[in-house]
Chains A and B, each alone.
Chain A
Amino acid sequence: MSDKTDITLIINGQSHAIRVESRRTLADAIREDCGQTGTHIGCEHGVCGACTVLVNGEPVRACLMFAQQADGKQIRTVEGLANGDEMHPMQRAFMENHGLQCGFCTPGFLMLAVGVLEREPDISDRDLVDVLSSNLCRCTGYQNIIKAVRAAAVEMRQS
């Protein structure tokens, strides 16, 4: 398994030239080869969604994608959500609505919600709950995650 390939991951606009084995997952490459540890790994089998990032605007589970598959694509992670010191409306909404407790699943939920709302700003409340069922949270009982995403959706539509 020692054959390595040169690839470039463009994470939050910054290029990372890295050498990876073909089996390297995108999640491991983001965290270990590019040092962006805000993306978390919860199950490595595509169920929990903690590792959700945006690849060319689409939410994907970074544990189910090989790093090579993301070569040259635009990747967005939680580290890229805020604009300098100004937080993204989704980040603010999670804080204001207590949408997080331990914070481990939070980056995945933030990226999932941002990705979906950017694609579908007028998504119905019902469909939003459906989309949010993609990811697991063990602390919040989802009540305040749903509340936060709905609040952010309103703000994102207005801006």
Chain B
Amino acid sequence: MTVHTKGSGTTWVGRSIRRLEDPALVTGRGRFTADMPATHWVRFVRSSVAAGTIENITAPERAGIVTAKDLAKLKPIRPMLSKFNYVAVGQPILADGVVRFTGESIAAVYAPSKDQAEDIADQVEVEISEGAPLIDAMDALAEGAPLVHADTKHNVIVEGRIATPGFEDVWKTAHKVLHVEARSHRQNATPMETRAGHAAYDGSTGRVTLTCTTQMPHLTRTAVCDILGIPESDLRVVAPDVGGGFGQKMSLAPEYVLLVWLARKLRSSVAWTEDRRENLIASFHSRDQHVQLEGAFDKSGKLLALRGDIVANIGAYSCFPTTCGVEPLMALAELPGPYDVRAYDCRSRGVMTNTCPMAPYRGVSRPVITFVLERLMDKAAAAFGIEPTELRRRNLIDKFPYTSATGLVFDDGSYKETMEMAIKAIDLDAFRKRQKIARDAGRYLGIGFATFSERTGYGSPAFAARGMEITPGFETVYLTIDPSGFVEARIGSSPHGQGLRTSLAQIIADEIGIDPEFIKVVHGDTDRSPYGWGTFASRSLVLSGGASLLAAQKIRAKLLKMASHFLEAAPEDITLQSGSAHVIGTDRSVTIASMARAAYHQTHIFKGEIEPGLTETGTYDPSGTFSNACHVAIVEVDIETGRVEMEKFLVVEDAGLIINPMIADGQVHGGVAQGIGNALLEEIIYDETGNILTSTLADFLPPTTHEIPEIELHHVETLTGNSITKAKGLGEGGAIGAPAAVISAINDALSPFGISIDEMPATPQRIRAALRSSGKLPSNGKLA
């Protein structure tokens, strides 16, 4: 057996061990919410119109139905920000007189089976007096536009501005000014498992257990209890296996509140499984933004100043707990990206419309702003007549810590190094030659680079800067070696595919000398895990990893003290490895399992010098850290059809110390694939009446194996002082950089046409429209 000792060079950290999560999932023994039987099944009756007043609701006789009038005592969902001119709006659990988007729940029916509930729902008649819907944020901004919420003064409900002093003076010195007007269309995170909830009432205790597809079990408990006005001790929230979330499952689903209310009313179990159409039209949407960006450059191509205006369409309500500020405020703070620019003036607004509410989706705004900023850099490179990478070389930050114009502090990173490695690995010079030969033959190849930062692992100070009433941040881990000698780590994070159980077990294993297979990580159950914030924002490895390390260090210290007693040696002469404590240089050892037994059952032998039990708590709340990466896409565009063929994708990323390379690579792969889908395919399309035209997976198109090319990965490991494990987060980076790289590559391919594709997704229709507008399409194989 290999001996693994902390610091010996054979640590568990850094190794691609198999995931502890997998055996159940590959054998069909995973337990997902929709797998649970229930006494009653719920079906929601949803609005078929985007705006209007409910005149009447008629249900079949004896149907089990809930409408807003039954829920009069419930509070609305009303998350708060104390800054940025935020206007709080409330979302009722079921539409209360007014409908504000297509798909909004108007009633809930329940029946003994799903099929029966669907049949009854089909027979519920809802009369709505239709109003004029606002679909596009620009229309909602217009003077005299109707109000989505009558109790607000206008449709802008969050607005931030950052302007550095003396901005105009810097702007005046510009040698060149470049401008981008970009549009990111609406997308849906589309986890393969739709949302689902199951609420079961326990008659003996009066408690309800809500099992649901959440990324934030504790916040779900807090929110549901606040809305119902019940103690949190009366609700247990369980996130079992969750089939992907990507942010969509971190916001509170009003449906869950209804389920808990109904389970209490019926004193029974009730369940709901969202169908794909509901997911696409009525769960949460993202990335619907208009961005104007201007950059002022000096003679050498150095970026002097950035001026931006961001309009985020946040839909009809504000999501809990982040609020709808999450997109516009993220964009405002992070728009300058990884570039050194000292002058910044940007306004960012969140605008209500009669569309499905916006919520975080992998990358939150950064896929959009990275795409826009990189368009600006590419345009500037063209204006200066240099390679896009050369322009970036002149502007990337390279001295750390770096404090940005918006006040963000970047810790050590490798912005330039990763780009230089990417240029070399992709062989840019060779590509340019190949591109020229192909062009001469009438084929359009292009290459696109995206360099970006990914802010990860931020604790409460970062969220506090946004003025959130609910300020996420810390994570806590309860680490126990029980009398059996097995280890249990109970965590507040709530992973749902990230392999965190395995990664945390590796971190803990190195510290306490017990192999990962004996370490169980428990999460997703408010009865078992400490209050925590769940899994989102590339945070869990940094925060729960840090908390795990802190708890494990305390356990280690205690084990060494106990071993010192048993082995009659000084703690500093003892090492913990492979389940035993050994006196270095001797054959004297004692098993950790026997010490664990003694810690509970033989405490008298320590004569009061060591406290009974073997449980320690670690809590970690850091300021945050920045990962970084360079993405490169190579594409070929068919100018006759507008089709984009992805030839290759390359990533050089730096997320600090990699705990499990296999898992880290998997996160990057998945993010890149979503980014490619975002760049080329995925779009929620509303017609002018507010009806969604993309309500199936045959219309809203996640990529398949055909659209995702081979993804080549390289790693740089910059060790940061901002994370005690030295690990940075990397869950979102793939999705942040890929859209920018792909769209940049498309534009590079089409540069002979003098057009600029500044829309996401860059669909064949948009590419063809731009090509037609160029007037340069070949009529006989040659450019006009």
* Interface status of B710 (Cβ within 8 A of chain A): yes
* Interface status of B153 (Cβ within 8 A of chain A): no
Q: Which residue of A lies closest to B700 (CB)?
A: A47
Are B276 and A98 in contact (CB-based, < 8 A)? Answer: no
* Interface status of A43 (Cβ within 8 A of chain B): yes
Are B674 and A138 in contact (CB-based, < 8 A)? Answer: yes
Are B698 and A101 in contact (CB-based, < 8 A)? Answer: no
Most chain A CB inside 10 Å of its own CB: which residue of B497, B704, B705, B706: B705
Please tell me which one of the listed residues A37, A39, A77, A98 contacts residue B666 in the complex, with CB atoms under 8 A apart. Answer: A98
Q: Which of B15-23, B50-58, B461-469, B479-487 contacts A (4 or more CB under 8 A)?
A: B15-23
* Interface status of A44 (Cβ within 8 A of chain B): yes
Nearest CB in chain A: distance from B284 CB, A: 15
Are B192 and A104 in contact (CB-based, < 8 A)? Answer: yes
Q: Which residue of A lies closest to B674 (CB)?
A: A138
Q: Which residue of A lies closest to B26 (CB)?
A: A91
Q: Mark B178-197, 1 if CB is under 8 A from A, else 0.
A: 00000000000011111000
* Interface status of A40 (Cβ within 8 A of chain B): yes
Are B705 and A100 in contact (CB-based, < 8 A)? Answer: no
Please tell me which one of the listed residues A23, A87, A105, A139 contacts residue B27 in the complex, with CB atoms under 8 A apart. Answer: A87
Are A136 and B673 in contact (CB-based, < 8 A)? Answer: no
Are A136 and B26 in contact (CB-based, < 8 A)? Answer: no
Contacts of A43 in B (CB 8 A): 276, 696-697
Are A42 and B666 in contact (CB-based, < 8 A)? Answer: no
Contacts of B242 in A (CB 8 A): 102
Are A47 and B697 in contact (CB-based, < 8 A)? Answer: yes
Are B26 and A44 in contact (CB-based, < 8 A)? Answer: no
Q: Which of A54-62, A66-74, A142-150 contacts B (4 or more CB under 8 A)?
A: A142-150
Q: Quick one: given A1-B119, A37-B35, are A144 and B705 in contact (CB under 8 Å)?
A: no
* Interface status of A137 (Cβ within 8 A of chain B): yes
Q: Which residue of B lies closest to A42 (CB)?
A: B192
C-alpha spacing A81/B23, complex, angstroms = 12
Per DSSP, are chain B's interface residues mostly helix, strand or loop, or mixed?
loop
C-alpha spacing A106/B498, complex, angstroms = 15
Q: Quick one: given A95-B22, A102-B193, A103-B243, are A45 and B702 in contact (CB under 8 Å)?
A: no
Q: Which residue of B lies closest to A24 (CB)?
A: B115
Are A133 and B704 in contact (CB-based, < 8 A)? Answer: yes
* Interface status of A78 (Cβ within 8 A of chain B): yes
Within 8 A of A (CB), among B186-221: 190-194
Are B27 and A141 in contact (CB-based, < 8 A)? Answer: no
Contacts of A81 in B (CB 8 A): 27-28
Within 8 A of B (CB), among A1-35: 1, 21, 23-24, 28, 31-32
Are B27 and A82 in contact (CB-based, < 8 A)? Answer: yes
* Interface status of B109 (Cβ within 8 A of chain A): no
Q: Which residue of B lies closest to A94 (CB)?
A: B26
Q: Quick one: given A141-B672, A143-B711, A144-B666, are A136 and B698 in contact (CB under 8 Å)?
A: no
C-alpha spacing A139/B241, complex, angstroms = 14
Q: Quick one: given A48-B192, A129-B705, are A143 and B669 in contact (CB under 8 Å)?
A: yes
Q: Quick one: given A110-B26, A136-B702, are A44 and B275 in contact (CB under 8 Å)?
A: yes
* Interface status of B662 (Cβ within 8 A of chain A): yes
Can you give 11 contacting A-B residue pairs, CB < 8 Å? Answer: A23-B115, A38-B28, A39-B28, A40-B243, A45-B276, A45-B698, A47-B698, A48-B192, A95-B26, A133-B704, A137-B192
Q: Mark B474-511, 1 if CB is under 8 A from A, else 0.
A: 00000000000000000000001111000000000000
Q: Which residue of A lies closest to B113 (CB)?
A: A32
* Interface status of B30 (Cβ within 8 A of chain A): yes
Q: Which residue of A lies closest to B18 (CB)?
A: A95
Are B28 and A98 in contact (CB-based, < 8 A)? Answer: no
Nearest CB in chain A: distance from B714 CB, A: 15
C-alpha spacing A23/B366, complex, angstroms = 45
Besides A47-B697, A91-B27, 16 new A-B residue pairs in contact (Cβ under 8 A), listed by A number: A23-B115, A32-B37, A40-B34, A41-B273, A43-B696, A48-B192, A78-B27, A78-B28, A98-B666, A100-B26, A103-B21, A106-B26, A107-B28, A142-B705, A143-B711, A144-B666
Contacts of A98 in B (CB 8 A): 16, 19, 662-663, 665-666
Nearest CB in chain B: distance from A70 CB, A: 18
Q: Mark B6-44, 1 if CB is under 8 A from A, else 0.
A: 000000000010110111111111111011010000000
Nearest CB in chain A: distance from B524 CB, A: 13
C-alpha spacing A31/B698, complex, angstroms = 24
Are A141 and B241 in contact (CB-based, < 8 A)? Answer: no
Q: Which residue of B lies closest to A143 (CB)?
A: B669
Contacts of B702 in A (CB 8 A): 136, 138
Q: Which residue of A lies closest to B499 (CB)?
A: A101
C-alpha spacing A94/B34, complex, angstroms = 24
Are A96 and B119 in contact (CB-based, < 8 A)? Answer: no
C-alpha spacing A112/B242, complex, angstroms = 22
Are A47 and B497 in contact (CB-based, < 8 A)? Answer: no
C-alpha spacing A132/B703, complex, angstroms = 12
Contacts of A48 in B (CB 8 A): 192, 276, 697
Q: Mark B699-719, 1 if CB is under 8 A from A, else 0.
A: 000101110101100000000
Q: Which residue of A lies closest to B273 (CB)?
A: A41
C-alpha spacing A45/B670, complex, angstroms = 24
* Interface status of A79 (Cβ within 8 A of chain B): yes
Q: Which residue of A lies closest to B662 (CB)?
A: A98
Contacts of A140 in B (CB 8 A): 666, 669-670, 673
C-alpha spacing A142/B498, complex, angstroms = 15
Contacts of A129 in B (CB 8 A): 705-706
* Interface status of B244 (Cβ within 8 A of chain A): yes
Q: Which residue of A lies closest to B672 (CB)?
A: A141
* Interface status of B246 (Cβ within 8 A of chain A): yes
C-alpha spacing A31/B190, complex, angstroms = 22
Contacts of A138 in B (CB 8 A): 190-192, 244, 246, 670, 674, 702
C-alpha spacing A44/B18, complex, angstroms = 32
C-alpha spacing A97/B447, complex, angstroms = 30
Nearest CB in chain B: distance from A152 CB, A: 11
Q: Which residue of B lies closest to A97 (CB)?
A: B662
Within 8 A of A (CB), among B300-343: none
Are A95 and B19 in contact (CB-based, < 8 A)? Answer: yes
Please tell me which one of the listed residues A87, A102, A132, A145 contacts residue B26 in the complex, with CB atoms under 8 A apart. Answer: A87
Are B28 and A77 in contact (CB-based, < 8 A)? Answer: yes
Are A42 and B18 in contact (CB-based, < 8 A)? Answer: no
Contacts of A82 in B (CB 8 A): 27
Please tell me which one of the listed residues B19, B28, B734 contacts residue A37 in the complex, with CB atoms under 8 A apart. Answer: B28
Q: Which residue of B lies closest to A36 (CB)?
A: B28
Contacts of A153 in B (CB 8 A): none
Task: Give the 8 A-B residue pairs with the shortest CB-CB distance, closest first.
Answer: A38-B28, A104-B243, A102-B497, A103-B25, A141-B673, A141-B669, A78-B28, A37-B35
Contacts of A104 in B (CB 8 A): 30, 32, 191-193, 241, 243-244
Are A136 and B697 in contact (CB-based, < 8 A)? Answer: yes
* Interface status of A50 (Cβ within 8 A of chain B): yes
C-alpha spacing A10/B457, complex, angstroms = 49
Q: Mark A115-159, 1 if CB is under 8 A from B, else 0.
A: 000000000000001101111111111111110000000000000
Nearest CB in chain A: distance from B154 CB, A: 37
Q: Which residue of B lies closest to A129 (CB)?
A: B705
Contacts of B672 in A (CB 8 A): 141
Nearest CB in chain B: distance from A81 CB, A: 7
Nearest CB in chain B: distance from A22 CB, A: 12
Contacts of A143 in B (CB 8 A): 665, 669, 708, 710-711
Contacts of B671 in A (CB 8 A): 141
C-alpha spacing A70/B310, complex, angstroms = 54
C-alpha spacing A145/B704, complex, angstroms = 12
Q: Quick one: given A43-B697, A104-B244, are A146 and B705 in contact (CB under 8 Å)?
A: yes
Contacts of A142 in B (CB 8 A): 669, 673, 704-705, 708
C-alpha spacing A126/B702, complex, angstroms = 21
Are B34 and A41 in contact (CB-based, < 8 A)? Answer: yes
Are B706 and A133 in contact (CB-based, < 8 A)? Answer: yes
Nearest CB in chain A: distance from B523 CB, A: 14
Q: Mark B154-196, 1 if CB is under 8 A from A, else 0.
A: 0000000000000000000000000000000000001111100
Are B28 and A136 in contact (CB-based, < 8 A)? Answer: no
